[in-house]
């Protein structure tokens, strides 16, 4: 393994972490970083660095990293910008393998001194082959290593999962994290790239493609400096793991105190979307749309084709899902004779028995629902199933009735659901289904259908279409 | 008041309710209807009707409504379709004022006997001027009267509020209800129109426009039989209360599905959207978009113009919101000199100080944030404010610091927010803000911006644009 690769690995999996600029004062970011490491139960050594303290939060504190005699793998730097070059030299001398540079005041400020400083520290880091996350970042979290190297201890409330977020915005990283908490979605890593001293989207994609804990790579981007490098990197890994992106900042005058023009924005969006797609990156719009797609891509089989069966406990949600399917490139499958025969056997003529299927009349009989779902899943005309069940007092036991069938089914086709009840009623059963990989559940039929569409889009990327 | 109007009032505000087809067997809908009334704590008299029981759930049960000697205002009918004409005659004789006809098997079935039955019972109801909700409905709920006249007791878990939902689909009514529970949104009424014997969208709009408990009328529609009547009714009330609609069943393939579900032909999206707008109805796509708009319209002032200020605690969410604003017809306002001066006073040059404003550097100083928000709200160039705050450990007290300012402010411009933290952290404070009417909060910046866009669209409707 080359030094760059091994240092990237050490950056995300350090045995010892120094916080340069640690503080016992809760008005300082250095305080919150120490809190993140301790509250996140980092199992390695935490070394606060501060020349004016002996102890911070009960941890022995050193005046400088040189004064700490054992090995340090990762340094988190929260000092003022002017002090950073000296600290980087010390890090280089100490043999530190990775740096998270939270400090702001480099290239992003108007003053050319900021850009100079940026170049200066980049030169030091590059000479020593030290990968740097930042500057001007909230930090990064490697959930599987219990490493919260950020100034937000609350990131450690997130579940461990298989989605890696690489983001250009700290605000959006916090947003996605907090929304994910409410959706019970877990992450492998969250990385705030900040102003990208030497670790950019491309470097992170290279790293994450070989990260066994990451199944889906999720990017948030505002501007892009090296589009070719990103596109070529993504293309090189095409098909290995899904890469999805949310790109904002499409309007030309967003940061000017002036009225903007919608036309140019739409145009720019289209250009980006096309380029991403060519590189095998799936572009999606919106916080929830991005998380919904990541959830499906991280835990569902991919459909072989666009033909979808919509099975609903009630007609309305089925029609709603069909509307989305048809505007997002999916097709409403025609059943084979056996399936249609089975459905006709269990449902009276008054129900919708073709696709979408209104299973309402089978409510009281979960074995009928089960047989319909089974026949549809086994139908070779069907590539994916959207199952929609709204709770009613009269169908309260339906989900329990489907349990043994769903849990023991060999999952080869995506089963995307909106199984919805008042809070607390079906939550546990849905969680069990999701944990077992039996299905992926969404809060509305529209979002279920859009997640299915994302799976199909990824299949087309895999097939080079 | 004419008899029709007074009977509509009695239908939604009965003193006594008979359940014709009540049952003690939990496999029958008549069981769940009784449960809805009792669990919903209906304060009036509940009269189960069943010739084979003396008591159902502890309530004295009568063989027929004729055997009950006092007045009955509302009858909920859950008998098989064939028995309905006779029951309707009895209701007419008894002087019953309103009926909820849950029973299915009328116009929606293939058999022409269904349509005949429909005409027959319609004739009886119309002759007696009895408004009928249904047939083929889950029922209706009047939250302010604690009347759950549906087969889903769980609707009573919803908060009392000022949004009335009138829906052609039981499944979508359940969906919207359960999603609203999670969003803490309250309803005034939920009405499942079913196959609309004599109460259609137009009749409900007429009624709800004069309903003091309803501020926003929310429609879900699949097919429409009498478009002119609906459009004319909406137009007649233009400006009185917002009417928003979610219309599905737009794709050609599903015309068939929507037809058999609701007994009418579904139309094309483009034609309807234009027609709705001309009638002063705001068409929106999606469960959450509909609820988000209803929430804003029911509790926020309307902007006088499209010029929006985006104030964000972090740049990313602000840029995201701006993208949505610009694609949804809003404009990014230019501040006046006083406002810009104030912002420059509190924020360093490294921040985004024009619109959108990145208030990050004012994090530790809630009085700075307060002064910026105050100046922007008072700026005559600004018609509405989107405020975005992602929690971080370092800004944990920010919201508390804004509290007295936000709670005492005279609210003349919409303040739409995405204030987001890990579950439990800021929930209580946000709830207090929302209850006081200080702001309307959303789970993402995109949804906040879309809600603002809905407010502006309604303003254009008010102005006849």
Contact call for A109 and B157, based on CB within 8 A: no
Residue of A nearest to B389 (CA): A171
Distance from CA of B354 to the nearest CA of A (A): 6
Q: How many CB atoms lie within 10 A of CB B227?
A: 16
Residue of B nearest to A221 (CA): B316
Long-range contacts of A23-27 (CB under 8 A, 24+ apart): A23/A50, A23/A53, A23/A56, A23/A78, A24/A53, A24/A56, A24/A57, A27/B364, A27/B394
Task: Walk me through the domains of chain A, giving residue ranges and CATH numbers.
Answer: 1-154 (3.40.50.720), 158-299 (3.40.50.261), 301-462 (3.40.50.261)
Residue B104 at interface with chain A, using a CB cutoff of 8 Å: yes
- Quote the pLDDT of residue A54: 94
Tokens read off for B426: 């800021």
Distance from CA of A92 to the nearest CA of B (A): 29
Torsion of CA A340, A345, A346, A349, to 10 degrees: 80
**Out of A169, A256, A332, whose CB is closest to B253?**
A332
Distance from CA of B243 to the nearest CA of A (A): 20
Distance from CA of B321 to the nearest CA of A (A): 9
Going by C-alpha positions, the residue among A166, A162, A168 that lies closest to residue A214 is A162
Residue A21 to residue A31: CA distance in whole angstroms? 9
Residue B312 to residue B373: CA distance in whole angstroms? 10
Q: Is B428 exposed, middle or buried (0-12, 13-18, 19+ CB in 10 A)?
A: exposed
Contact call for A250 and B27, based on CB within 8 A: no
Contact call for A104 and B390, based on CB within 8 A: no
Tens of each residue's pLDDT in chain A, 465 residues: 689 999 999 999 999 999 999 999 998 999 999 999 999 999 999 999 999 999 999 999 999 999 999 999 999 999 999 999 999 999 999 999 999 999 988 877 777 888 899 999 999 999 999 999 999 999 999 999 999 999 999 999 999 999 999 999 999 999 999 999 999 999 999 999 999 999 999 999 999 999 999 999 999 998 777 888 999 999 999 889 999 999 988 665 444 433 333 334 445 777 888 899 999 999 999 999 999 999 999 999 999 999 999 999 888 999 999 999 999 999 999 999 999 999 999 988 767 788 999 887 777 677 888 899 999 999 999 999 999 999 988 888 888 888 888 888 777 899 999 999 999 999 999 999 999 999 999 999 999 999 999 999 999 999 987
Contact call for B257 and A179, based on CB within 8 A: no
Contact call for A352 and B35, based on CB within 8 A: no
Contact call for A422 and B154, based on CB within 8 A: yes
Q: What angle (nearest 5°) sits at the alpha carbon of residue A111, between those of residues A105 and A113?
A: 75
Handedness of CA B82, B87, B88, B89 (dihedral sign): positive
Distance from CA of B3 to the nearest CA of A (A): 33
**Phi, psi values for residue A411, rounded to 5°:** -85, 100
Residue of B nearest to A34 (CA): B393
Judge whether B131 and B98 are in contact, CB under 8 Å: yes
Exposure b/e, B308-337, CB count within 10 A at least 16 = b: bbbbbbbbbbbbbbbbbbbbbebbbbbbee
pLDDT digits (tens, 9 = 90+) for B194-236: 999 999 999 999 999 999 999 999 999 987 778 889 999 999 9
Which of A21, A255, A258, A419 to probe the B interface (max B CBs under 10 A)? A255
Q: Whats the size of chain B, residue-wise?
A: 465
Residue A22 to residue A31: CA distance in whole angstroms? 6
- Three-state SS string across chain A, please? CCHHHHHHHHHHCCCEEEEECCCCCCCCHHHHHHHHHHHCCCCCEEEEECCCCCEECCEECECCHHHCCCCCCEEEECCCHHHHHHHHHHHHHHCCCEEEECCCCCCCCCCHHHHHHHHHHHHHHHHCCCCEECCCCCEEEEHHHCEEEECCHHHHHCEEEEEEEEECCHHHHHHHHHHHHHHCCEEEEEEECCCCCCCCHHHHHHHHHCCCCCCEEEEEECCCCCHHHHHHHHHHCCCCCCEEEEECCCCCCCCCCCCCCHHHHHHHHHHHHHHHHHCCEEECCCHHHHHHHHHHHHHCCCCCCCEEEEEECCHHHHHHHHHHHHHCCCEECCCCHHHHHHHHHHCCCCCCCCCCEECHHHCCCHHHHHHHHHHHHHCCCCCEEEEEEECCHHHCCHHHHHHHHHHHCCCCCCEEEEEECCCCCCHHHHHHHHHHCCCEECCCHHHHHHHHHHHHHHHHHHCCC
- Quote the pLDDT of residue B423: 94
Residues of chain B under the 50 pLDDT cut: 254-255, 259-267
Q: Which residues of B touch A35 (CB under 8 A)?
A: 393
Q: Whats the size of chain A, residue-wise?
A: 465
Contact call for A318 and B257, based on CB within 8 A: yes
Q: Strand B139-142 relative to strand B160-167: parallel, antiparallel, unpaired? A: unpaired
- Quote the pLDDT of residue B263: 43
Beta-carbon contacts of B464 under 8 Å, excluding residues fewer than 6 positions away, are: B238
Residue A440 at interface with chain B, using a CB cutoff of 8 Å: no
Going by C-alpha positions, the residue among A174, A172, A131 that lies closest to residue A150 is A174
**B contact residues 185-244, partner A, Cβ 8 Å cutoff:** 220, 222
A188-to-A157, A179, A206, A208 alpha-carbon distances in Å: 13, 16, 15, 10
Q: Is A390 exposed, middle or buried (0-12, 13-18, 19+ CB in 10 A)?
A: buried
Contact call for A175 and B317, based on CB within 8 A: yes
Contact call for B253 and A105, based on CB within 8 A: no
If phi over 0 gives left and psi between -120 and 50 gives alpha, with beta otherwise, what is residue B329?
Answer: left
Exposure b/e, A60-80, CB count within 10 A at least 16 = b: ebbeebeebeeebbbbbbbbe
Distance from CA of B308 to the nearest CA of A (A): 10
Judge whether A179 and B444 are in contact, CB under 8 Å: yes
Going by C-alpha positions, the residue among B177, B279, B184, B158 that lies closest to residue B220 is B177
How big is chain A by its Cα radius of gyration, in Å?
25
Count of helices and strands (H, E) across chain B? 16, 20
- Quote the pLDDT of residue A408: 82
């Amino acid at each position: 393994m080359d030094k760059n690769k091994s240092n990237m690995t050490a950056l995300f999996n350090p045995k010892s972490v120094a916080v340069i600029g640690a503080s016992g004062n809760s008005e300082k970011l250095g305080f919150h970083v120490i809190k993140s490491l301790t509250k996140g139960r980092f199992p390695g050594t935490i070394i606060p660095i501060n020349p004016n303290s002996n102890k911070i939060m009960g941890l022995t504190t050193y005046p400088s990293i040189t004064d700490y005699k054992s090995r340090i793998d990762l340094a988190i730097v929260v000092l003022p910008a002017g002090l950073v070059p000296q600290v980087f030299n010390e890090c280089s001398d100490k043999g530190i393998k990775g740096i998270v540079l939270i400090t702001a005041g480099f290239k992003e400020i108007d003053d050319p001194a900021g850009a100079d400083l940026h170049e200066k520290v980049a030169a030091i880091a590059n000479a020593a082959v030290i990968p740097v996350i930042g500057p001007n970042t909230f930090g990064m979290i490697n959930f599987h290593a219990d490493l919260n190297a950020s100034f937000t201890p609350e990131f450690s409330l997130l579940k461990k999962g298989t989605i890696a977020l690489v983001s250009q915005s700290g605000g959006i990283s916090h947003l996605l994290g907090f929304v994910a908490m409410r959706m019970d979605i877990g992450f492998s890593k969250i990385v705030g790239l900040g102003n990208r001293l030497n670790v950019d989207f491309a470097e992170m994609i290279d790293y994450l493609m070989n990260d066994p804990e990451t199944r889906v790579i999720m990017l948030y981007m505002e501007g892009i400096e090296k589009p070719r490098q990103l596109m070529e990197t993504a293309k090189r890994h095409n098909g290995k793991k899904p890469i999805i992106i949310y790109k904002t900042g499409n309007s030309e005058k967003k940061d000017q105190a002036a009225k903007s023009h919608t036309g140019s924005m739409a145009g720019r969006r289209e250009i980006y979307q096309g380029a991403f797609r060519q590189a095998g990156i799936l572009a999606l719009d919106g916080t929830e749309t991005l998380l919904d797609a990541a959830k499906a891509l991280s835990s569902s089989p991919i459909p072989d084709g666009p033909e979808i069966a919509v099975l609903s406990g009630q007609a309305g949600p089925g029609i709603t899902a069909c509307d989305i399917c048809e505007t997002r490139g999916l097709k409403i499958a025609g059943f084979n004779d056996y399936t249609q025969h089975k459905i006709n056997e269990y449902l009276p003529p008054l129900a919708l028995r073709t696709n979408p299927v209104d299973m309402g009349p089978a409510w009281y009989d979960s074995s009928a629902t089960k047989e319909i779902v089974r026949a549809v899943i086994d139908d070779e005309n069907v590539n994916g199933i959207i199952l929609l069940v709204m709770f009613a007092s009269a169908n309260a036991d339906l989900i329990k009735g489907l349990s043994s069938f769903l849990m023991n089914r060999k999952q080869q086709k995506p089963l995307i659901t909106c199984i919805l009840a008042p809070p607390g009623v079906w939550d546990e059963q849905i969680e069990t289904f999701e944990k077992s990989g039996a299905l992926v559940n969404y809060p509305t039929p529209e979002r279920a259908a859009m997640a299915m569409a994302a799976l199909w889009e990824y299949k087309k990327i895999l097939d080079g279409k």
